[in-house]
Structure 1
Amino acid sequence: MSDNVVEPGTQKPQATAQTSEQILVRREKLKRIREAGEAYPNTWRTDHTTAEIFARFEDQDTSHLEEVGHRVSVAGRIMAHRVMGKSSFVQIQDGSGRIQLFLNRDELGGPEVYNPTRKWDLGDIVGAEGVLFRTKSDELSVRVSHIEMVSKCLRPLPEKWHGLSDIETRYRQRYVDLMVTPESRETFRTRSKVVSLLRQGLESRDFIEVETPMLQTQPGGAAARPFTTHHNALDMELFLRIAPELYLKRLLVGGFERVFEINRNFRNEGLDATHNPEFTMVEFYQAYADFSDAMDTTEALIRGIGDGLGVTLVEWEGVDIDLSKPFRRIRLDESVFEKLPEVRGHANDKALLATVCMRVIENFKPLITWKAGHYLVALFEEFVEPELDQPTFITHYPVDVSPLARRSNDEPTVTDRFELFVAGREIANGFSELNDPDDQRGRFVAQAQAKAAGDLEAAGIDEDYLRALEFGMPPAAGVGIGVDRLVMMLTGQHSIRDVLLFPHMRPE
């Protein structure tokens, strides 16, 4: 037996003396490959993936395979290698799965061809051609007649094959994680499907996909601290966008009545289980619709994605979530009153709400610019939000915390706005859009005053957006859905880093 009888997985690859020695050995092998010819050729071509082989031939028995002699050309990374004298079993992994290769010295053309394969390492990428057959254990395999080294792996893979157990290494070296952790690969395949289903769901409702600037002269569309950069040629300050909202609504003014964008946003904030400085959102806007219509569309989109994935019941954060049931809808103030009856009827009483916040919220530190709505939302976030397990729309947010949302016709202190929560996590935010340019200017001014008073997340005054509103924007509703958090829910992941291929990390 060869000392290659090992499979990749659970241990963290560290810069140990043993690892360094293995790298030196592998580099010596690479040197001999270079001396013999091209070390990293780009000549191998495949005609089947592993998944295609199993889909087409898995139900064919031994006699049929031998009679027909299906010839295939495959390629992949060596994940297991068992050498038994004149024969070897090599398991390779391509982008769709794994398949076993059977190598025999005589069938490959003698020891000159076969013996070098005995020294190949786990992680090496090889191309093989041969006919399909079944082993004595009935495993569908390739009886190889020709095999080549395609790309030499110079670093040892982690030992065993159950995946990387060291979380930090999984995030920093995602390329290794994807090699050896099937669950990780499946998560990111699911993420791709979620985005595709999201796009299909919007396009089927006659929304058109657009692209808006990521470098903006005036950050807006959300309460967040932006990243700042400088454009040398124009000698001007620019900001990575915190949201595409104000540009998408400019398109409503221009006559595009249903638009959406799936892309990155950037917010200069901390990192935790649900936050990353850059993240993916979908925002969509529909003319001649209100926040009730937007809730209907949001619920239908999420349920449609679940149906497309074959998922109706999801376990997330210890909660069994049923996507098939109608999502609950409740006003924000009412949800607070249920938890704190003492504030019922006092949603606009700043002094009372501030007193209650100081008494019941530990280490409470309000900003000097806060109004009654800010204190009400603080109570909501402390006592209601963490307990919103099943999908729930929280509606009618205060005007004080909703600078872009339309005021309610019946209650001027609240807006036609909602947020969707699942398992205590915010998934979506939407509202009937504010299209009154004078009301919008007043709210921008209030935001600018808050910014001047030290609120780093407050926006300034976007004069061009106000000019666009003065041309007339149709009544509309808009929604932003956090794609990363949606994927977290649908895959049962507990950290946003588990659904981002390359999450931000502190320097090593």
Structure 2
Amino acid sequence: MSKIIESSKIDGIAKKEKRIRKNKLQKLRQLGFDFPNKCHYKQTIQELCCLYGQHAKHELHEINCNISTAGRIIKKRVLGKALFFVIQNYNFVIQIYIKSNLFEKNYYKNHIIELDLGDIIETQGKLFKTNTLELSIYCKKIYLLTKAIRPLPDKYYGLKNQEIKYRKRYLDLISGKETMNIFIKRSDIIFNIRSFMKKKNFLEVETPMMHPVPGGANAKPFITYHNSLSETMYLRVAPELYLKRLIIGGFDKIFEINRNFRNEGISTRHNPEFTMMEIYMSYSNYKDMMSLLEKLCIFLVRKISSSLIITYNKHELNFNKKIKKMTMIESIIKFNKNIHATDLDDIDKIKVLIKKLNIHTTSSASLGEIIHLIFEKTTEKKIINPTFITSYPIEISPLARKKEKDKKTAERFEFFISGYEIANGFSELNDPNEQKKRFKLQIKQKKRNQKELHNFYYDKDYITALEHGLPPTSGLGIGIDRLIMILTNQKSIKDVILFPILKKIL
């Protein structure tokens, strides 16, 4: 109850502050202020800090450098006839020292002293260092560029609320360096991924975001409608079928980094709109993709860390060792002492097992489907160290090749770190007749399990493309957001997406 009362007090203070600021803006308008767009400062705050931050006091005095810069006021302090601001631009701050007697009395009283936290200003002056060696600007001119009507959030309340950080990301970015640093790292990681792929002679391509037929992954799509074509369209759940068309067309090594959309749950590891990289390489198999992914991970860890051992959620992750490989069944047995190999080799035995484990499934579920369900429910969250899980049941791998010596399993792997599935790869199925059968079976299962999907059909043009010949090919999908979570040590996927999808506030 006390928290609710405290929150209402804060809201009341904010409303009162907003009224005061609106009155200030009205007076400024009467004096001719109209959000000017004449600012062409000479240096950013970052440039000033980088160029002059290490200079001694006497060196700055000798340089006698005239500067002009701009930023948002984030701190204000009045000391007698002196005024101090701290302004911020991008992720850098600098202090401004203002002496009242350097300015015309009415201008200082009506303009400068009335500036508020959040206002955006331009300032001109000379650089110096204070007695505490803080780089500062001795202000000679100051101009208001943007008047902030709403106050910045109270740093002790507003931005301790994680929900506010997600919903009002702009306030989160203004209020602290930590969040902005995460997204700077995100940009750097994606840049380095592209750099790695280019060095490996992969070509970046773009494929459609709206599909006439949903495909490429077994996920529920978002449905939209194209008015001009009078057709139902689907936001893509995966670009896979289009990228493989490009391999059929003659491209050799391609990748795409872009959004996927899946009309499913929201959690610390799921966002309905997420960033995926998909890679396809002709004349290769799933083992080649595992090797490529391992090299990419080592490359990225080296870029962000001085060591190949990084920490995520209090666990040390060692990329200096060869990444471990286990089959799905081996991992289930390893991480569950109460499950044995003999429990998983027969449909009747496994149904007894899932009853003991309190795992529910449909009566028509196959042995492979149940094994995968057991893996999801009992094992994957226990896989902390970087691990490749291989030998996925063919029933849950509709686009993958069967193993030559074991027709029940696919040439497929998934990559896990700290309980998260980071990537999924396999040798691509390139037999058009087998692919057609798999698609028909998939649609049949959807009709049985999800009645709202009864009008869905498979991508017949993709079968036509396959009939022209897909060379032996391997493919890989990497969840970029989850990978960045690991590399930046963030607990939720919302922490690495600038504007995550959230439940509506009622």
Quickly name the TM-score band, shorter chain normalised: over 0.9
The correspondence for 1:489, drawn from 486, 489, 493, is 486
Asked if the contact 1:131–1:144 (Cα under 8 Å) also holds between the matched residues in 2, the reply is yes
Q: Give the equivalent residue in structure 1 for 2:474.
A: 477
1:111–1:231 Cα change, 3 Å = same
Question: 1:361-389 CA deviation, whole Å, 9 max, x = no partner?
Answer: x2x22134421111111121223212110
Letter in 2 for 1:381: E
Asked if the contact 2:84–2:98 (Cα under 8 Å) also holds between the matched residues in 1, the reply is yes
Q: Give the equivalent residue in structure 1 for 2:196.
A: 201
Q: Give the equivalent residue in structure 1 for 2:503.
A: 506
SS for the counterpart of 2:463 is helix
Asked if the contact 2:386–2:418 (Cα under 8 Å) also holds between the matched residues in 1, the reply is yes
Asked if the contact 1:162–1:181 (Cα under 8 Å) also holds between the matched residues in 2, the reply is no
Asked if the contact 1:262–1:281 (Cα under 8 Å) also holds between the matched residues in 2, the reply is yes
Q: Give the equivalent residue in structure 2 for 1:220.
A: 215
Asked if the contact 1:30–1:39 (Cα under 8 Å) also holds between the matched residues in 2, the reply is no
The correspondence for 1:238, drawn from 233, 238, 252, is 233
Give the alignment's Cα RMSD to 1 decimal: 2.0
Structure-2 separation of matches of 1:13 and 1:46: 41
Question: 1:274-304 CA deviation, whole Å, 9 max, x = no partner?
Answer: 0011011111111111111101111111221
Structure-2 separation of matches of 1:355 and 1:483: 38
Q: Give the equivalent residue in structure 1 for 2:105.
A: 111
Q: Give the equivalent residue in structure 1 for 2:3.
A: none
- Quote how far apart the aligned CAs of 1:233 are: 1.4
Question: 1:22-60 CA deviation, whole Å, 9 max, x = no partner?
Answer: 101000111111112233111112222222212111221
Question: 1:210-245 CA deviation, whole Å, 9 max, x = no partner?
Answer: 111111011111111111111111111111100001
TM-score (norm 1): 0.93
Question: 1:188-227 CA deviation, whole Å, 9 max, x = no partner?
Answer: 1111111111111111111111111111011111111111
Asked if the contact 2:354–2:360 (Cα under 8 Å) also holds between the matched residues in 1, the reply is no
1:24–1:16 Cα change, 3 Å = same
Asked if the contact 2:91–2:177 (Cα under 8 Å) also holds between the matched residues in 1, the reply is no
The correspondence for 2:86, drawn from 91, 98, 101, is 91
1:13–1:187 Cα change, 3 Å = farther
Q: Provide structure 2 residue ranges, at least 5 long, that are not aligned to the other structure.
A: 1-5
Instruction: Single out whichever of 322-331 and 492-501 deviates more from structure 2.
Output: 322-331
TM-score (norm 2): 0.94
SS for the counterpart of 2:485 is helix
1:46–1:162 Cα change, 3 Å = farther
Q: Is 1:419 the equivalent of 2:429?
A: no
- Quote how far apart the aligned CAs of 1:345 are: 5.2
Q: Is 1:279 the equivalent of 2:278?
A: no
Asked if the contact 1:488–1:494 (Cα under 8 Å) also holds between the matched residues in 2, the reply is yes
1:302–1:14 Cα change, 3 Å = farther
Structure-2 separation of matches of 1:451 and 1:210: 31
Q: Give the equivalent residue in structure 1 for 2:20.
A: 25
Q: Give the equivalent residue in structure 1 for 2:465.
A: 468
Asked if the contact 1:369–1:450 (Cα under 8 Å) also holds between the matched residues in 2, the reply is no
Structure 2 matches for 1:143-158, cutoff 5 A? Answer: 143-158=138-153
Q: Is 1:322 the equivalent of 2:318?
A: yes
- Quote how far apart the aligned CAs of 1:340 are: 5.8
Q: Is 1:436 the equivalent of 2:431?
A: yes
Asked if the contact 2:402–2:411 (Cα under 8 Å) also holds between the matched residues in 1, the reply is yes
Q: Is 1:449 the equivalent of 2:444?
A: yes
Question: 1:230-269 CA deviation, whole Å, 9 max, x = no partner?
Answer: 1111111111100001110110000111111111100011
Asked if the contact 1:228–1:239 (Cα under 8 Å) also holds between the matched residues in 2, the reply is yes
1:387–1:54 Cα change, 3 Å = same
- Quote how far apart the aligned CAs of 1:114 are: 2.3
Q: Is 1:34 the equivalent of 2:32?
A: no
Letter in 2 for 1:157: L
Structure-1 separation of matches of 2:325 and 2:157: 43
Question: Aligned pair count?
Answer: 495
Q: Give the equivalent residue in structure 1 for 2:247.
A: 252
Structure-2 separation of matches of 1:434 and 1:15: 60
- Quote how far apart the aligned CAs of 1:456 are: 6.9
- Quote how far apart the aligned CAs of 1:136 are: 1.7
Q: Give the equivalent residue in structure 2 for 1:69.
A: 64
Structure-2 separation of matches of 1:419 and 1:401: 13
Structure-1 separation of matches of 2:451 and 2:384: 31
Q: Give the equivalent residue in structure 1 for 2:309.
A: 313
Structure-1 separation of matches of 2:32 and 2:198: 52
What percentage of residue pairs aligned between the two structures are identical? 38
Structure-2 separation of matches of 1:442 and 1:461: 10
Instruction: Single out whichever of 494-503 and 350-359 deviates more from structure 2.
Output: 350-359
Asked if the contact 1:393–1:420 (Cα under 8 Å) also holds between the matched residues in 2, the reply is yes
SS for the counterpart of 1:260 is strand
- Quote how far apart the aligned CAs of 1:317 are: 2.8
SS for the counterpart of 2:422 is strand
Q: Give the equivalent residue in structure 1 for 2:166.
A: 171
Q: Give the equivalent residue in structure 2 for 1:288.
A: 283
Asked if the contact 1:209–1:260 (Cα under 8 Å) also holds between the matched residues in 2, the reply is yes
1:333–1:460 Cα change, 3 Å = farther
Letter in 1 for 2:314: G
Question: 1:105-130 CA deviation, whole Å, 9 max, x = no partner?
Answer: 233x3323322211111111111111
Letter in 1 for 2:424: N
